[in-house]
Each structure stands twice: as structure tokens, then as C-alpha cells.
């Protein structure tokens, strides 16, 4: 009898079908979680409703019907004529990137950047001016080259950012075996079309969605799509109800999933973006990435620069016209303003920032933090709140059972690690300090509890290289280990009982039940007769474990040994809850256990969660210790020192969470704790009011995490949120920094994240934040450096025109050279600067602060003016001095050289904001020394190598003239050092007055 026939016979829904004994083997689903599709729905609630209805319900069609719809033939395949038509109609079997945005349009988008637009305008005007006067448009070409380079850089960066999609894309297999024109071909997967007949084998990734035509023992891993960890057995012979969920469509296979066993032949039903994976890809893409703080600051910077340069251009042109009283020199004035526009734009900045971020990611990987999205590097530095999971991130995720409570007995368990050796000690009451060792089998309640521990369990405990280790959930591993300590072995028990159905664990349900049937063979009867332990004698029995409050609520009676039970009265309930609280407040993770004998006359197909998981018989409590990670306490302290608030989020009991949070210093007595239940009752504005005070969230489900992130973000916080499960993905995506677990995390959570902790460790987040801050400090450092120079250049060019020297001292080409090479190389080296000593002793900077905040704007203007004044003074003198000699244009080269060399001194001085350069170790940043030496040599080559001289329009300088340039440029260095001395002195004076 087919499973479907069985279901029809009992007239049950498909959902219940999977609990029939015959069917269990077919589609056993241990960790059924929400499907990716539902997840995507959560993120973008409006979009997906239409998606399932438009798709054909292939799973409900019979094979012949499906083939007829697709006009395909299982023995010959499609004809080549059909395939080329279909390929034309449906397109290549590929996931599209950027939600349909083509690479070309991304590239074009780069050139809408306001600074690049201005440069392009400059190039055009400059080309017209040059061509009109019959010159080669050298400047225009150089500028165009820089514009293109910048555009390409932005393009590369943006393409790299969408890694999540690339990961989804990698899930689809590259080559497939297809039947066409009665022949078998091996083709690239992207050539598949709906209607194709494809062969599947063990280990293959499935390249398109399809209806199975034949399947031999086919097992498919669908975790990528449904989040289900276990392989699903597929069956081609069924046709299913139309409303069967994705995970239940066992006559279908889906793109991006993997064949772990067996062989099959399928009819392709959907390709490319029409597949289930494609729909998810589209949804994930439609969640738009917000600009990072740095991106926002950069566009703000660009606006300021462009506006101020246009204003300057206006001043120069109008001023020039007014001064000369005619339009005669308009061309000349235009040239000056072009130079100024080029001088203002920091052409080297995008490249330097990209390189700095890349260096930051490399450093972070060395600290076990893998950055998946480049801008996250600098976002990290501004994080104000870290929401961290407790289990596994703050704790070690190595559970050891410490205490068991059954009836009125409190039993302590000793023994280290997972090894099944240790003792049980009884203290009858809390007051009784007289502890005695006991034999578990003398206590029927304990015995029943340990049975439940072993049977209601999906983990495996095994000895490997003389070490005991567990496969599966550490919580369950600890339960196997405690049963082992009582001499109860998993393998033996599984021989006696077959699991015929289950209601699996999920973070939402916070419980798990299994239904076991006693084996009826003679052999097991003989075996059980010899058993030391008295196994429960019902034929069909359900064991349930989970969050104690929840389980207790489902119970109506209490097991009291010798296979009898009493009704649970209020007093007993209160006692159990009190015991639970007492264990939890010691930081133990507590599980409650219950069982229920089931009526064998009711077919198991009729069992469902709601009607079965009730009227249970309470057995007892198990408390296990999951010790905090040794480094977590220091990391929490450092985190608070750095002005970042750590918040603990856990599915555990609030007292357990509290005990561990107190221990780690995340919260202190009196701090607000919010439970999932309480959170559910709060409206979004109410939650926002509380979210700044709450440091512990207990008994929460993954969807609560999303609400917490949203509330914090609405309160202006920059949130890092950890997660590992499939259902955590929306919260990770929503957080400013989504942090996934490298070891225990699912692929889905990793794909949704910005950063992956390779060691699952909270302390790693803090180290990554430190690196993020160093990166941001360094970015600010070279922005100061580069823009100070730009202002100096602009002022010099403007002054030349305003004091009536008649010509611009710097050509656009020379300015580009300065901005890219003589500023760019030292700026790159400044990105390697080691952290300032206080980097983790100060609060995070406001993520919304302007790039000019905290004195940066003032510094740029101040230093720009100093640099400008020094250069202008030199220019004035040099102009008059060179007029009398043979080569009257030498003054321009002296100005050019002074500006460049002054920047070398600036780079040296800017390494530290507070310490004098002589106080720093000159070799602690060897890159800077190298960059300064190289740049100086290059600058000298521009003057003393003839071909370069003619290309850059420079003039030969005598040694004394060069000496004067060097002398003038050194003044900038001296000035900045004097500033530092002054500030130091001022600060010290202030301190002294405070002391008095």
C-alpha cells in the first residue's frame, strides 16, 4: 500500500501522513525548520504571496500529465529545435545578479558620482581649450584616465559586495547529464530548459527544479532550501495534494540541493530565476543594502568639496573679470578654475580607502573574524550594541549534567566531560548535608528519566582516539553521557525501542517528543528479560523533553515510581518550578522530562502535536552546566570599556541567563530582563522604550531577535547581532553587522551575515571591532592628510590669479600627479599605522557623525591655509626672482616642488595626533619611510630627467633653488609639531588647575 493510499484510507491530511510507521522511513524530518522561502517572506512581507500561486503545482500532477504539459518524452528527450526555442523563451538557467541589474548598469552608476562628473566636465572644457589653441589635450586625457580608473575601482568594489548572492549562485551545479534527441549529453547547467530530461547521481548538485520520473533510493539534502539538516528520501511514484509545502514535495527535486544517495531521472520544470532558489535569490536581493557610515560620509564629503570648488571657481572668474574690467583673459581664468577643480577632488582617495579596507579584512581573518562584506570593516568600529547568543558564543557549548531532580529527590551527578563514568549522589532535602552515593536502578523515577534521556535524543556519543565525543547537539550529548554514567547504553535501548514518530525540536517550540514502540521479536523479549533495567512496559510510549515550564504545563500527573502516577496538584507544581528556578539561578540549563503511554489502537497517522503532546506524566528535571568561555569575561569588560553595550539573547530560562550574565558582567542585579513572552505583548514603540535598558532577553525565539534589532536601530544604535540557525537569517540581515557562527552556524545564516566568527567566540567580535576602529582612525588620518594638501593647492592656484601673476602655477596634470602619487603613496602607508593607544578606551564615535567632526574639518582648513600661505609667499618671491633670469617659468616648478615636499613632512608629522614625531619609533611604520623616500625621488626625477621634464612641463632648478623649496616645505612639519607641543602644554595646564 502506498503511503498516500494509507493516508486516504484514514482520510487524514498529508501533514499527518509522515507519522505513519511506513512513512517515517520515507521522509523522516528531524530538524524541520522554516523554509528559506518563508524566511525571505519575513524580510519582505509584501512580495512573495503571488509567487507560489503562479507556479504550476507539478508535485500534484501525474508523471504522464507533467510530461504532456512540458511536451517532453522520457525516452528521447527534447529535440534540438524544441530546446533552442525554449532557451529563447525562458533564458539561460542562471541566477541573475543584482536583481536584474546588469554589470554595465553598475558600471554606469559609478560615473554618476558627483566628483567624477565634475572631473569629466573639467576634461571636456580642458580638451576644448587645448584643441582651440592647437595644443595636444594632455590634461584632458590624463583626467579621463583617472575618471575611468576610479569608476572601475568602484565597480570592482560593488561587485564584490554582493557575495551572498554569489554564494547562492555557487549552489547550482556547473555540468549536467541530459537526454536530448535520444542521446545523452553532458552540458553546462545554464543550457538546461524546462522539459529537459536530466539524470541524477549520488554527489551531484541539482541544477534546476524538476519532477522525478524515476528514482532509485534517492536521498536529497535540501538544507539550503528548507533548512532541514537530514537528507530527504524522494519518491517519484506519488502525486501529492496541491498545498503540500516545499519540504513535503517528495516527488520533486530543487535547484541548489544535493543528491547524497541513489539515482534518478527528472523532468525539468523550472530553470533560472523561476526555480525556488531563484525566487529566494530575487527576494534576498530586494532587501536593499543601506549605505554604510563611511559611504554616507564620503558622499557628504564629495558634496562639500564640489560645492566649495564651484564657489571658488565663481569667485576667481568673477574676481578676475572685475579686476581687469574685461573678458579678455576669460580663457586664462577658465584654465585657472579648471586647475582648481582638479585640485579639490581627492583623486587618490577611493583607491586608498579600498586598499585600507582590504588590509583591515586581512588583519581580522588573522583574528578569526572573516569579513564577508567589505564595508563592514569600518561599520564595526562604530558598533554601539552587541546582541550575542549565550549558548556557544559566550559559553563553551560543552554541556555536563550536574543535577537531577525526580520526585522529591535532588541528585548530584559527578564526573568530567562526556565520558560515561561518574557517580550519583543523593541529598534528600536541601538542608541535608549528608550526601550518599546511590545506584540509579534503585530509583524507578530516575530510571524512567534516564530512559527518556536516551530515547528522546538525536545525538550520538562515541569514543574516538580514547576521547569521548558527541555528534549532534551538545545538550543531548550531555543526556547520553549521564545515562551512560548509570550504565544505560544507547545502542541497547535502541534495540528494544523503535522510534516511529516524532515532533522535532525547534527554538520556537522549545521542546521535542518521540514516540517509541517496543520491539516485539522473541529475541528482544529474551534480551529484555535479562536486562538489568526495567524498561517501561507500554507498547507505545511518548517521551518529551524541553523547557521545564512548558513541559510542566502539558502535564496532568506526576510519576511516582512502580509505574504509577498521581494527579499533579498545585503544591507539587509550585515545588517543581521552585526546583527549576533554584537550578537555573546557579546558571544551569534545565530541561524538563515527561512521558505518556499511548493507545495502540489509535493509528499513529492520527497523532499530531496538539492532541498528543498533552496530558503528560511528569518525570523530573535535569540541570546541566555550560561554563562561560574563559576569555568571555575579559572581552565583556573590554567591550564596556570601549563604550559598547553587550546584550545577551538566549532561548534559555531567564534565571540561567541571569546567572551567566552576572558572572560575565553583562548585567548586574537590578537590571531589566525581558522574556520572549513579555516581549510578544509589547508593541514596537513600547519595545523601543525599553530596549536601551534591557541587557538580557530570555526564552526568546528567532523572530524576537528581528524585533529587538529593529527596535535598537530605531533608537539610533548600531547593532551587531549573532546567530546560527536558519531562522536567524532575517535578524542577521537586518542588523548593521550580522555575525554568523563558523563552526555551528548553518550556511543560510552565514550567507545572510556580514562577518563570520571562525571560532564562534564572543571575544573575536571585540577584536574585530578594535580592528574596525583602527581602520576608521587611519582612514580619517589620511583624509586629513590628503585634503589638507588639496586646500593648499587650491589656495595657491587661486592666489596666483588674484595677485595677478597672470598664469596658473600648476597644470591639471601636475595636480593629478600630486593628488595621486605624491599624496597617494604616503597616504597608503599611513593606512598601515598601528593603533593609537586609546583605541578601545573610548566610546564609539557617533555613526552619524560628519566626516569633519572632532576637529577634522578645522584641521584640514588650518593646515591647508598654512601650506597655502607658505607656498604663496614662496611663489611671490620666486616669481619676481625668476623674471630676471633666462628661464622665467622656473617659479612654477618651485611652487610644484614645495607643495610636494611639504606633504612629505606632513605625512611624518601626522602619524600621531598627540605624540611628537621624535617620540615615535621611526621604524614602526617602515612603509611610510619607504613611501616618502620613493615619492621624493620621483619628484626629483620630474625635474632632473629630461623626457619627464618635458612631459610634465617642469623646469630645471638649480641646487640653491631646490634648497629653498626644501627649506620652505620643512616649515609645514615644524608647524604641526609646534601645534602638538602647544596642545600638550595647554592640556597639562588644565590638568593642574583641575587638581587644585
Span from 78-86, 336-344, 365-373, 386-394 in contact with Mg ion (CB under 5 A) = 386-394
Q: Residue 475 interacts with ligand ADP (CB under 6 A)? A: yes
By the rule CB under 6 A, 546 interacts with ligand ADP: yes
C-alpha 908/C-alpha 830 separation (Å) is 9
Chain residue at closest Cβ approach to ligand ADP: 651
Instruction: Compute the least distance from the CB of residue 557 to ligand ADP, in Å.
Output: 21
The stretch among 39-47, 510-518, 805-813, 876-884 that binds ligand ADP (CB under 6 A) is 510-518
Site for ligand ADP in 391-430 (CB under 6 A): 391
Please report, for residues 33, 285, 457, 510, the alpha-carbon distance to residue 505 in angstroms, rounded to integers and kept in the order given. Answer: 9, 30, 10, 6
- By a kind-dependent CB cut-off of 5 to 8 A, residue 389 interacts, out of ligand ADP, Mg ion, none, with ligand ADP
Among 652, 710, 771, 961, binds ligand ADP (CB under 6 A): 652
Helix axis angle for 856-883 and 959-995, nearest 10°, is: 150
Which C-beta is closer to ligand ADP: that of 350 or that of 651? 651
DSSP result, 668-693? -TT-EEEEHHHHHHS-HHHHHHHTTT
Interaction residues for Mg ion, span 388-447 (CB under 5 A): 391
Query: Whole-number minimum distance, CB 458 to ligand ADP, in Å?
Result: 7
Question: Measured from the CB atom, is 547 or 764 closer to ligand ADP?
Answer: 547
Contact 535, 496 (CB under 8 A): yes
Does residue 545 belong to the site contacting ligand ADP (CB under 6 A)? yes
CA distance 427 to 411: 6
Size of the site for ligand ADP (CB under 6 A): 19
Q: Across-strand partners of 697? A: 649, 674
Give the orientation angle of helix 163-170 with respect to helix 276-286, to 10 degrees.
180
Q: What residue 293 binds from ligand ADP, Mg ion, none (CB within 5 to 8 A, per partner kind)?
A: none
Binding to ligand ADP by CB under 6 A, coded x per residue (else -) over 589-628, reads x-x-------------------------------------
Grid coordinates in use for 572? Answer: 507539587
Report which of 691, 689, 700, 690 is spatially closest to residue 722, judged by C-alpha positions. Answer: 700
Contacts of 687 (CB under 8 A, 6+ apart): 679, 707, 708, 711
**Alpha carbon distance 118, 304 (integer Å):** 13
How far, in Å, CA of 689 to CA of 234, rounded? 50
Fill in the DSSP letter of residue 844. Answer: P
| Residue with the CB atom nearest Mg ion in the bound state | 391
User: Which stretch in 13-21, 30-38, 117-125, 502-510 sits in contact with ligand ADP by CB under 6 A?
Assistant: 502-510
Residue 211 in contact with ligand ADP, rule: CB under 6 A = no
> 39 vs 207, which CB is nearer to Mg ion?
39
547 sits near ligand ADP (criterion: CB under 6 A) = yes
Buried b (16+ CB within 10 A) or exposed e, 219-242: bbbbbbbbbbbbbbbbbbebbbee
Measure the CA dihedral 787/788/792/795, to 10°. 70
Using a 10 angstrom Cβ sphere, with 0-12 exposed, 13-18 middle and 19 or more buried, the burial of residue 902 is buried
Nearest approach in angstroms of CB 274 to ligand ADP is 35
Instruction: Tell me phi and psi for residue 315, to 5 degrees.
Output: -60, -45
Find the shortest distance in angstroms from Cβ 474 to Mg ion: 9
Nearer to ligand ADP, 139 or 476 (CB): 476
Residues in CB range of 141: below 8 A, 6 or more apart: none
Number of residues that bind Mg ion (CB under 5 A): 1
Question: What does residue 2 show for φ and ψ, rounded to 5 degrees?
Answer: -75, 160
Determine, following the binding rule CB under 6 A, whether residue 269 of this chain makes contact with ligand ADP.
no
- Under the binding rule (CB under 6 A), the answer on residue 32 touching ligand ADP is no
Q: Which among 389-397, 533-541, 613-621, 914-922 is the span making contact with ligand ADP, rule CB under 6 A?
A: 389-397
Rounded least distance, CB 672 to ligand ADP, Å: 19
Active site residue 389: yes
Question: Which of 159, 507, 638, 675: binder of ligand ADP (CB under 6 A)?
Answer: 507
CB of 23 vs ligand ADP, minimal distance in Å: 23
953 binds, among Mg ion, ligand ADP, none (CB under 5 to 8 A by kind): none
Instruction: Pick the closer one to ligand ADP by CB: 379 or 650.
Output: 650
C-alpha cell at 308: 566649495
Q: What are phi and psi of 243, to 5 degrees?
A: -90, 15
Q: Count Cα neighbours of 925 within 13 Å in the Cβ-side half-sphere.
A: 23
CB atoms within 10 A of CB 628: 19
Tell me: does residue 476 bind ligand ADP (CB under 6 A).
yes
Query: How far is Cα 469 from Cα 398, in angstroms, rounded to an integer?
Result: 10
Q: Which is nearer to ligand ADP, 20 or 699 (CB)?
A: 699
Q: Does 510 bind ligand ADP (CB under 6 A)?
A: yes
| Cβ contact 583:623 at 8 Å | yes
* 158/652 with CB nearer ligand ADP: 652
From the CB of 704, what's the least distance to ligand ADP, in Å? 11
Q: Which of 209, 248, 389, 760 is catalytic?
A: 389
Active site residues: 389
Q: Which residues bind ligand ADP (CB under 6 A)?
A: 389-391, 473, 475-476, 505, 507, 510-512, 545-547, 589, 591, 650-652
Q: Which residues bind Mg ion (CB under 5 A)?
A: 391
Amino acid at each position: 500500500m502506498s503511503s498516500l493510499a494509507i493516508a486516504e484510507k484514514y482520510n487524514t491530511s498529508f501533514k499527518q501522513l509522515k507519522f505513519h510507521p511506513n512513512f517515517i522511513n520515507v521522509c523522516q524530518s528531524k530538524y524541520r525548520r522554516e523554509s528559506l522561502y518563508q524566511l525571505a517572506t519575513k524580510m519582505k512581507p509584501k512580495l512573495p504571496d503571488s509567487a507560489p500561486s503562479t507556479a504550476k503545482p507539478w508535485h500534484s500532477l501525474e508523471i504522464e500529465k507533467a510530461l504532456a504539459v512540458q511536451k517532453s518524452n522520457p525516452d528521447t528527450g527534447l529535440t534540438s529545435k524544441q530546446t533552442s526555442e525554449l532557451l529563447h523563451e525562458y533564458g539561460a538557467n542562471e541566477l541573475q545578479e543584482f536583481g536584474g541589474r546588469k554589470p554595465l548598469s553598475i558600471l554606469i552608476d559609478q560615473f554618476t558620482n558627483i566628483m567624477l562628473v565634475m572631473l569629466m566636465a573639467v576634461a571636456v572644457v580642458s580638451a576644448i581649450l587645448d584643441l582651440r589653441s592647437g595644443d595636444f589635450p594632455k590634461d584632458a586625457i590624463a583626467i579621463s584616465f583617472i575618471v575611468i580608473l576610479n569608476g572601475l575601482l568602484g565597480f570592482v568594489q560593488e561587485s564584490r559586495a554582493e557575495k551572498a548572492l554569489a554564494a547562492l549562485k555557487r549552489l547550482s551545479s556547473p555540468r549536467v547529464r541530459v537526454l536530448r534527441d535520444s542521446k545523452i549529453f553532458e552540458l553546462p547547467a545554464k543550457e538546461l530548459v524546462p522539459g529537459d530530461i536530466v539524470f541524477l547521481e549520488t554527489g551531484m548538485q541539482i541544477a534546476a527544479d524538476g519532477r522525478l520520473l524515476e528514482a532509485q533510493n534517492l536521498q536529497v539534502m535540501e538544507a539550503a532550501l528548507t533548512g532541514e539538516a537530514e537528507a530527504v528520501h524522494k519518491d517519484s511514484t506519488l502525486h501529492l495534494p496541491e498545498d503540500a509545502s516545499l519540504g513535503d514535495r517528495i516527488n520533486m527535486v530543487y535547484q541548489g540541493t544535493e543528491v547524497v544517495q541513489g539515482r534518478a531521472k527528472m523532468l525539468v520544470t523550472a530553470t533560472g530565476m523561476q526555480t525556488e532558489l531563484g525566487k529566494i535569490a530575487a527576494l534576498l536581493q530586494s532587501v536593499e543594502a543601506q549605505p554604510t557610515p563611511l559611504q554616507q560620509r564620503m558622499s557628504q564629503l564629495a558634496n562639500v568639496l564640489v560645492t566649495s570648488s564651484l564657489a571658488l571657481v565663481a569667485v576667481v572668474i568673477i574676481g578676475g573679470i572685475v579686476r581687469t574690467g574685461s573678458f579678455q583673459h576669460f580663457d586664462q581664468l577658465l584654465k585657472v578654475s579648471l586647475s582648481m577643480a582638479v585640485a579639490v577632488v581627492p583623486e587618490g582617495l577611493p583607491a586608498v580607502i579600498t586598499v585600507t579596507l582590504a588590509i583591515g579584512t586581512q588583519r581580522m581573518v588573522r583574528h578569526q573574524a572573516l569579513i564577508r562584506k567589505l564595508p563592514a570593516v569600518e561599520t564595526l568600529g562604530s558598533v554601539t550594541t552587541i546582541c550575542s547568543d549565550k549558548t556557544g558564543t559566550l559559553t563553551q557549548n560543552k554541556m555536563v549534567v550536574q543535577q537531577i531532580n525526580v520526585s522529591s529527590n535532588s541528585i548530584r551527578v559527578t564526573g568530567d566531560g562526556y565520558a560515561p563514568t561518574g557517580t550519583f549522589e543523593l541529598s534528600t532535602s536541601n538542608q541535608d548535608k549528608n550526601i550518599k552515593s546511590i545506584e540509579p536502578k534503585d530509583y524507578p523515577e530516575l530510571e524512567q528519566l534516564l530512559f527518556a534521556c536516551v530515547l528522546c535524543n538525536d545525538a550520538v556519543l562515541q569514543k574516538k582516539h580514547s576521547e569521548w565525543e558527541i555528534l549532534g547537539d551538545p545538550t543531548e550529548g550531555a543526556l547520553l553521557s549521564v545515562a551512560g554514567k548509570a550504565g544505560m547504553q544507547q545502542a541497547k535501548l535502541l534495540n528494544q525501542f523503535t522510534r516511529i514518530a516524532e515532533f522535532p525540536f525547534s527554538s520556537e517550540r522549545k521542546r521535542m517528543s518521540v514516540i517509541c514502540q517496543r520491539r516485539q521479536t522473541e529475541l528482544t523479549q529474551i534480551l529484555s528479560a535479562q536486562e538489568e533495567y526495567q524498561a517501561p512496559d507500554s507498547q507505545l510510549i511518548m517521551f518529551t523533553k524541553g523547557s521545564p515550564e512548558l513541559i510542566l504545563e502539558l502535564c496532568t500527573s506526576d510519576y511516582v515510581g512502580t509505574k504509577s502516577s498521581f494527579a499533579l496538584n498545585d503544591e507539587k507544581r509550585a515545588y517543581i518550578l521552585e526546583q527549576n528556578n533554584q537550578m537555573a539561578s546557579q546558571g544551569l540549563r534545565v530541561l524538563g522530562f515527561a512521558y505518556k503511554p499511548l493507545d495502540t489502537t489509535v493509528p499513529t497517522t492520527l497523532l499530531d502535536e496538539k492532541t498528543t503532546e498533552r496530558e503528560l506524566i511528569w518525570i523530573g528535571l535535569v540541570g546541566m552546566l555550560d561554563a562561560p568561555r574563559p576569555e568571555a569575561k575579559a572581552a565583556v569588560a573590554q567591550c564596556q570599556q570601549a563604550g559598547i553595550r553587550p546584550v545577551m539573547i538566549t532561548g534559555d530560562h531567564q534565571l540561567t541567563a541571569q546567572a551567566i550574565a552576572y558572572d560575565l558582567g553583562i548585567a548586574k542585579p537590578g537590571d531589566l530582563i525581558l522574556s520572549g513572552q513579555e516581549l510578544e505583548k509589547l508593541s514596537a514603540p513600547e519595545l523601543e522604550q525599553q530596549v536601551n535598558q534591557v541587557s538580557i532577553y530570555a526564552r526568546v525565539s528567532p523572530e524576537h531577535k528581528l524585533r529587538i534589532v529593529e527596535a535598537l536601530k530605531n533608537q539610533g544604535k548600531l547593532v551587531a547581532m549573532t546567530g546560527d540557525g536558519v531562522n536567524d537569517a532575517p535578524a542577521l540581515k537586518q542588523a548593521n553587522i550580522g555575525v554568523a557562527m563558523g563552526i555551528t552556524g548553518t550556511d543560510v545564516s552565514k550567507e545572510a551575515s556580514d562577518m563570520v566568527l571562525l571560532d564562534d567566540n564572543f571575544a573575536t567580535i571585540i577584536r574585530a571591532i578594535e580592528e574596525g576602529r583602527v581602520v576608521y582612525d587611519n582612514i580619517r588620518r589620511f583624509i586629513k592628510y590628503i585634503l589638507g594638501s588639496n586646500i593648499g593647492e587650491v589656495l595657491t592656484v587661486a592666489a596666483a590669479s588674484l595677485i595677478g601673476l597672470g598664469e596658473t602655477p600648476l597644470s591639471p596634470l601636475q595636480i593629478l600627479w600630486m593628488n595621486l602619487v605624491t599624496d597617494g603613496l604616503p597616504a597608503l602607508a599611513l593606512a598601515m599605522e598601528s593603533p593609537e593607544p586609546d583605541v578601545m578606551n573610548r566610546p564609539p564615535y557617533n555613526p552619524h557623525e560628519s566626516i569633519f567632526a572632532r576637529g577634522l574639518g578645522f584641521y584640514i582648513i588650518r593646515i591647508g591655509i598654512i601650506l597655502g600661505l607658505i607656498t604663496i609667499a614662496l611663489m611671490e618671491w620666486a616669481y619676481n626672482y625668476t623674471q630676471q633670469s633666462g628661464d622665467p617659468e622656473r617659479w612654477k616648478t618651485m611652487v610644484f616642488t614645495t607643495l610636494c615636499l611639504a606633504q612629505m613632512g606632513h605625512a611624518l608629522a601626522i602619524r600621531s595626533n598627540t605624540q611628537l614625531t621624535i617620540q615615535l619609533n621611526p621604524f614602526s611604520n617602515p612603509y611610510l619611510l619607504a613611501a616618502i623616500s620613493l615619492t621624493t625621488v620621483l619628484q626629483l626625477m620630474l625635474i632632473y630627467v629630461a623626457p619627464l621634464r618635458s612631459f610634465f612641463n617642469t623646469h630645471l632648478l638649480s641646487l640653491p633653488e631646490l634648497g629653498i623649496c626644501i627649506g620652505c616645505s620643512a616649515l609645514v612639519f615644524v608647524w604641526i609639531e609646534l601645534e602638538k607641543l602647544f596642545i600638550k602644554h595647554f592640556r597639562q595646564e588644565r590638568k593642574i588647575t583641575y587638581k587644585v
